[in-house]
A and B are shown apart, each in its own frame.
Chain A
């Protein structure tokens, strides 16, 4: 009887999880489906789900109009660069906060997070002027730095949380064995925190990939990433939903594939220490 209840509950939970999963995934699925419709089919009422004439025309038009690979390459460099740079800075910072805390550590952590509370547009002009002075407008390097700074509080917070789960005694033992600070962080702490670091890297890569305020405002031609590629297909006067959907699908495809293959690592990292 108990087994029957358990099985029924399991099935129910599974069904519920699938339903929630599909609900969350539905907008992406709809975007992908729309990308294979004609513009007229894209706005048809009632909406067409699968019963339409599938076409690749929108992809051909988008490919013809835009240099997709240039946008993609910029996205990879900007998202990857800002994430790597962020982790390089955040690992020592999180180490210090987790293992050598001071009286002000909690305050510093909260202060770091408070920088996320200011609307980005509030600092657009100062940063724009700074970029003009430094010659960083429309450069990948400039965006790498800005996106790193934006995501740094999250990276530090996540790594701090993971590092706190690692017993300090292990690091102490390494120190007693003669490990230098660099060796302690590189060869003892980092290997133990790999799941946490991996999920932090993935999450920040996704955040940087999707960032659409700074990437639109600080780029023009040379450094424009996929967010600018999508924005170029949005139109207030004219129905180009199918083309916009094709551009969106092309923009999210790489990150969707990356997320799909690394979901195990991502979930493991995000739930690390959650049930302790």
Chain B
């Protein structure tokens, strides 16, 4: 009798253990931003549908970058899905560190991914990461202050107009700065902004022989223009302002214009957080007269599968779910169209409901205008708009942006910074074998 019961118990335990062993679980490393957090909230629906449990590791962007880079280069196997950007994807794809995202189902409709996004997340025509949301950059401006200044924002303004408008909108007595822009050191912060500003003045990072171009007149013109305009109409201490600092200033009504990520549009028009929510207009990022490249970038946070994961199929299932048209519908149904992840799918911008969102068309136009294969007015050997898709870029651009921030802080001249940037970049590129 006892033996029988013991056998039954052992059999039951074996079943439980087998079931537990078969219950799939995937671990996803991600960044902390509104869209990603929202996705975490809907994960239960994915688990209900597939039986796959999802564990989230949410980290600050720079920590995440270091964490996933360490893990993928050492084949640590800590994550089944990584949230990475347009900078890492083509480099890691080329190194064979990512699983190609081919063989997605017909319902997924991979051709619906915006071509600019698919191009930036591919290597040799193979997609290595699926965009969860994408962004470009554009002008967000105060319609009331523009009207008060007696000016009208064109849909596609020039830098010269922006400088004039910024001066007219500046009201130091009332703590209103005509324009707020990033000056903070870091390749993804002020470094990204000054790079696209350079592009819009006809500058480029490297010529076709990978020779740095900071000694060329276009860079001097761009940097001098930026510094002069910010001295006239920018906030005090802009050398340490990044996305969040400028967002805070704009939401409190202290900026006439702000040129930054299109994703900011939903923040500045949200009446819960912004004091100027109903007074915001949008326009394309500016260019310098005579240059046909504008100061807008292209970026996507995308989901990729590290090579060597034991959960490749489950990870693919999750990516299909999270970046699908159905997921967008799910968010729209529960939280409204203004809160769906933008910038990833063509069909979203064809949706009549989404077209009613005030910043939707300008976001799409900005994204479509950005071409990572052709960033600059002059030919380049690299892809990427606000970055150069080579592994050495992050280190070099961080150092260069520190030199530029020192100019914004009044610690050195434009000429000194460009000279240092040229020498440092040339040295690093030579050491890297270019």
What is the interface of chain A, defined by CB distance below 8 A to chain B?
39-40, 43-45, 65, 124-125, 128-129, 131-132, 137-138, 216-217, 220-221, 224, 228, 231-240
Contact = CB atoms under 8 A, between A and B. Distances in A.
B78 A236 contact: no
A217 B62 CA distance: 12
Given A217-B67, A232-B57, A240-B32, 5 more contacts: A40-B272, A65-B37, A131-B76, A220-B29, A228-B59
Contacts of A228: 57, 59
B244 A239 contact: yes
Nearest to B188: A236
B59 A238 contact: no
A239 B268 CA distance: 11
B28 to A, nearest CB: 10
A43 B253 CA distance: 12
Interface string B216-247: 00000000000000000000000000111001
Nearest to B71: A128
A236 B60 contact: yes
Interface string B37-57: 100100000000000000101
Nearest to A240: B32
B58 A237 contact: no
B76 to A, nearest CB: 5
B252 A43 contact: yes
Consensus secondary structure, chain A interface: loop
Contacts of A65: 37, 40
Interface centre among B244, B252, B272 (most CB of A within 10 A): B244
A134 to B, nearest CB: 12
A29 to B, nearest CB: 21
A45 B33 contact: no
A125 B70 contact: yes
Contacts of A232: 32, 57-59
| Number of chain B interface residues as a range | 35 or more
B60 A234 contact: yes
Nearest to B275: A40
B273 A237 contact: no
Nearest to B274: A40
Nearest to A230: B60
Given A231-B63, A235-B31, A128 B57 contact: no
22 contacts: A43-B252, A45-B252, A65-B37, A125-B74, A128-B74, A132-B74, A132-B76, A132-B77, A216-B59, A217-B66, A228-B59, A232-B57, A232-B59, A233-B32, A234-B32, A234-B60, A236-B31, A236-B189, A236-B242, A237-B33, A239-B247, A239-B273
Interface in B11-51: 27, 29, 31-34, 37, 40
A40 B252 CA distance: 9
Contacts of A39: 272-273
A183 B189 CA distance: 61
Contacts of B33: 235-238
B70 A217 contact: yes
Interface string B65-102: 01100110011111100000000000000000000000
Return the 8 tightest CB-CB contacts between A and B, nearest first: A232-B58, A234-B60, A235-B32, A43-B248, A221-B55, A220-B78, A236-B61, A220-B57
Contacts of B188: 236
B265 interface: no
A30 to B, nearest CB: 16
